[in-house]
Amino acid sequence: MGMLLPTAARLSLWAAFAGSIAFLSTLTAAPSLPLEVPGLARSGLGTKRVAVAVRDTAGRVNAQAQPGIIVLKSARWSPNDAEREGAGEFEVLLSVARLLEKHSLPGLVGIGNQNGAFLPAAEQALTRAATMGVPVVKLSASGTLASNPENLFIEAGSLSPDEAKVLLAECLLALGTLPPARNIFAPTGAELQAIRHQLARYQAFFDRRAPVLVASR
């Protein structure tokens, strides 16, 4: 994980996440980023891997490599509310589509209810996003969220949404996206193993860096 940003750069990065110019100038001071990482492009109902040039030969970060990250918040739990379930699923799918239109390094941060869960249809849509290669970071609106190797998500512990966005962006620039499944509705065992391998690298980074960010609040 030696390619990831130093602590000083991370803590100063994205005081306001929307400040893309400040974001890129901060990253320019981190020559340890790789020259290229795997990204995503739309392909039929799914995605395909593409090479994303993170830095040019002079070591500067390419503006086109800026990660695109959307924060989604789950609707309140309401059993047998089909309309709310459908709206949550649609929001996830629309967010993924919008990200892939403009960014080769897309990511999602999801703020769930208790234990970080979304309504079932939205939860399934988030899993589909992961099989498409889009990393999904989970937060819980009710407190700390422990990591769960059984799902296809990255758990962000007690980080704030902004902190989770910072770390997710770092991972995307240093590691690239997840490997997409050929059939996002029925990934093979080998494809799931490859996705989980990359997720483990993301999770290890979050687990290691989260205490630093929390302590600095």
Average pLDDT, the chain: 82
Written as one letter, the residue type at 30 is A
Q: Tokens standing for 110?
A: 């999801």
Written as one letter, the residue type at 120 is P
Mean pLDDT of 176-205: 96
pTM, full prediction: 0.81
Span 70-96, pLDDT tens digits: 999 987 665 566 556 678 889 999 999
Q: Distance (Å, rounded) from C-alpha 72 to C-alpha 127? A: 14
Which helix (H) or strand (E) segment holds residue 39: the answer is strand 36-43
Residue-range domains of the chain with CATH: 7-215 (3.40.50.40)
Give the range among 81-90, 96-105, 112-121 with minimum mean pLDDT.
81-90
Q: Across the strands, what pairs with 68?
A: 106
Q: Tokens standing for 7?
A: 């602590």
Rounded to whole angstroms, the maximal C-alpha distance in the chain is 56
Residue 3: CA count within 13 A, CB half-sphere? 16
The pLDDT of residue 139 is above 60 = yes
**Tokens 């989970």 found at:** 138
Determine contact, residues 147/203, Cβ cutoff 8 Å: yes
Q: Distance (Å, rounded) from C-alpha 161 to C-alpha 166? A: 9
Span 22-66, pLDDT tens digits: 444 444 445 578 889 999 999 988 999 999 999 877 778 888 889
Regarding predicted confidence, which is higher, 29 or 110?
110
Q: Tokens standing for 201?
A: 């690298």
Confidence (pLDDT) at 147: 76
| Confidence tier at 146 by pLDDT (50, 70, 90) | confident
